């Protein structure tokens, strides 16, 4: 019996080592793929194409949907930033999802709203609409005031109220760069098979904003926000870009994505789940593959959306718990795709990766970290084995993370200050010494709570805090 137990313990550590060996090899490969894909994309883009779109000769009009729940500190700046976008024809639809704060009051005051009797075709189900408002200052701004139903419900109300063929879904705490929509919608015009695109999301904390636009890009001041900035840079460089290369992109960030309206309606809109952004993309894949509809879902690496990330540990952990719950619930809902040849490369490569690495990965990491510490303390694992673990699981991964931050800035040149770049690189180095373990533990908990619902709002400081501080100085 003791001998069998010994084999089990050794087996656990072997699985743990093989997991980190595989994942770090995969991430290293992803960096190479990302660089190749971004280089190919950069060669295909010319200033002439963006100019033609802006001139009105080369574009598709779109509706910007902004679901808002208790966003009184951010909603005004978000709408102002959207009004400053360079795009020939678009409408802004803010959906107030039964906020209990002054979100609606702020909108009424800042944009001079008046109530209108606007008929809305109900293609998708959602909670009752209490009122529809338009801005006297900006005719393309519409506000939907509705009963609380969750983010997916709010988005469905926005889809029903929209009038254009493309939908840009934007979080209420996010800011788009002025030409982001031009870049994100370009693929829809060039290729009729494109049904969804997503851009890069970057951390707004620490940056300076004025009149709804980011005027100075700086690294976050706090460590918690800084860790997230490094994570975002790595995630979009090695994750979205690589899966885009394999045509297996299953996630378009809820903070910034553009979807074709007819396909959204065809899949019955957004489902009531905490991971509605991934869920809608997975179901769009499934719908097109099952109905033999030629399609493409694309990650576009240059449109940028700036978003405010949690600045305290409690909000961060609740966010990651929600992300994990949303991931598991979305994968479970479409579980028939797992290793199913009917769904092509999505079913055989993309979907299994998200199940094994993203969904079940926290179990392997959590058990691995805990067992390694326990076994080392009990003398079951020797110093050499512990050192091997450090080299494979920690040092290699750290080098990947630091390299991703450096390469990201080399390609996109966002951070002008050497100090900011060094700070993010150091945080990428420190990420594996406590921060990652906390996130893994919360994701491990979230794995078993995927039936739990809720927006899980984080505390917001408001986008103008850094601007105000600098003015005061």
- How many Cβ atoms from other residues are within 10 Å of residue 434's Cβ? 10
Q: Which of 323-362 are b and which e, b meaning 16 or more Cβ less than 10 Å from the residue's Cβ?
A: bbbbbbbbbebbeebbeeeebeebbbebbbbbbeebbebb
What digits encode the pLDDT tens for the residues 26-49? Answer: 888 887 787 777 666 665 655 445
The per-residue pLDDT for 387 is 74
The per-residue pLDDT for 457 is 55
**Could you give the strand order of the β-sheet that contains 174-176, starting from the edge strand earlier in sequence?**
113-116, 129-135, 141-146, 90-97, 62-68, 166-170, 256-260, 194-203, 296-307, 174-176
What digits encode the pLDDT tens for the residues 342-368? Answer: 999 999 999 999 999 999 989 888 887
**454 confidence band (pLDDT: 50, 70, 90):** low
The per-residue pLDDT for 473 is 29
Contacts of 131 (CB under 8 A, 6+ apart): 115, 145
**Which CA distances in Å does 206 have to 232, 309, 410, 426?**
15, 10, 20, 17
- Rounded to the nearest integer, the mean pLDDT of the chain is 85
The alpha carbons of the chain give a radius of gyration, in whole angstroms, of: 23
Question: CATH fold of 26-356+455-472, please?
Answer: Spore Coat Polysaccharide Biosynthesis Protein SpsA; Chain A (3.90.550)
Which range, of 145-154, 259-268, 391-400, 426-435, averages the lowest pLDDT? 391-400
**452 confidence band (pLDDT: 50, 70, 90):** low
The per-residue pLDDT for 470 is 32
Q: Which residues pair with 64 in a beta bridge?
A: 92, 168
More confident residue, 190 or 168: 168
The per-residue pLDDT for 333 is 95
More confident residue, 350 or 415: 350
- How many Cβ atoms from other residues are within 10 Å of residue 13's Cβ? 18
What is the Cα–Cα distance from 366 to 467, expressed in whole angstroms?
41
Q: Which residues pair with 305 in a beta bridge?
A: 176, 201
Share of the chain above pLDDT 70, in %: 85
More confident residue, 77 or 155: 155
The per-residue pLDDT for 416 is 79
The per-residue pLDDT for 89 is 93
> Is residue 72 a contact partner of residue 106, using CB atoms and an 8 Å limit?
yes
What digits encode the pLDDT tens for the residues 71-121? Answer: 998 899 889 989 999 899 999 999 999 999 999 999 999 999 999 998 899
Res. 459: pLDDT tops 60: no
The per-residue pLDDT for 51 is 52
More confident residue, 385 or 170: 170
């Amino acid at each position: 019996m003791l001998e069998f137990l010994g084999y089990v313990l050794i087996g656990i550590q072997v699985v743990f080592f093989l997991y980190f060996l595989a994942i770090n090899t995969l991430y290293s490969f992803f960096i190479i793929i990302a660089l190749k894909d971004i280089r190919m994309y950069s060669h295909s883009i010319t200033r002439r194409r963006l100019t033609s779109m802006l001139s009105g000769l080369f574009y598709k009009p779109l509706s910007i949907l902004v679901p808002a729940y208790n966003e009184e500190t951010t909603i005004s700046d978000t709408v102002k930033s959207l009004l400053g976008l360079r795009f020939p024809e678009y409408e802004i639809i803010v959906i107030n999802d039964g906020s209990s704060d002054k979100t609606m009051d702020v909108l009424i005051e800042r944009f001079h709203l008046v109530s209108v009797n606007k008929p809305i075709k109900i293609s998708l189900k959602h909670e009752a609409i209490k009122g529809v408002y338009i801005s006297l200052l900006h005719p393309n701004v519409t506000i939907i005031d509705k009963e609380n139903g969750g983010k997916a419900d709010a988005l469905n109300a926005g889809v029903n109220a929209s009038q254009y063929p493309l939908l840009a879904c934007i979080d209420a705490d996010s800011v788009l760069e002025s030409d982001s929509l031009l870049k994100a919608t370009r693929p829809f015009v060039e290729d009729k098979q494109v049904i969804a695109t997503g851009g890069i999301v970057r951390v707004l904390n620490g940056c300076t904003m004025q009149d709804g636009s980011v005027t100075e890009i700086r690294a976050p001041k706090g460590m918690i926000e800084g860790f997230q900035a490094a994570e975002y840079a790595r995630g979009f460089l090695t994750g979205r870009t690589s899966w885009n290369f394999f045509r297996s992109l299953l996630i378009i960030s809820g903070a910034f994505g553009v979807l074709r309206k007819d396909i959204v309606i065809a899949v019955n809109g957004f489902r009531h789940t905490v991971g509605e952004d991934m869920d809608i993309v997975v179901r769009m894949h499934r719908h097109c593959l099952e109905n033999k509809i030629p399609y493409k879902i694309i990650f576009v690496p240059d449109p940028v959306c700036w978003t405010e990330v949690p600045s305290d540990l409690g909000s961060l952990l609740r966010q990651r718990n929600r992300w994990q719950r949303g991931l598991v619930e979305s994968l479970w809902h479409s579980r028939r795709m797992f290793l199913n040849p009917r769904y092509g490369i999505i079913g055989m490569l993309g979907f299994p990766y998200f199940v094994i690495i993203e969904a079940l990965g926290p179990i392997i990491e959590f058990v691995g970290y805990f067992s390694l510490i326990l076994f080392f303390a009990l003398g079951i694992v020797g110093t050499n084995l512990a050192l091997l673990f450090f080299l494979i699981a920690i040092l290699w991964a750290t080098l990947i993370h630091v390299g991703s931050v450096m390469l990201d800035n080399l390609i996109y040149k966002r951070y002008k200050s050497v100090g900011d770049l060094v700070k993010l690189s150091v945080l990428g180095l420190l990420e594996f010494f406590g921060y990652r373990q906390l996130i893994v533990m919360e994701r491990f908990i979230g794995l078993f709570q995927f039936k739990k619902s809720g927006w899980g709002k984080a505390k917001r400081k408001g986008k103008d805090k850094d601007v105000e501080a600098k003015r005061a100085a």
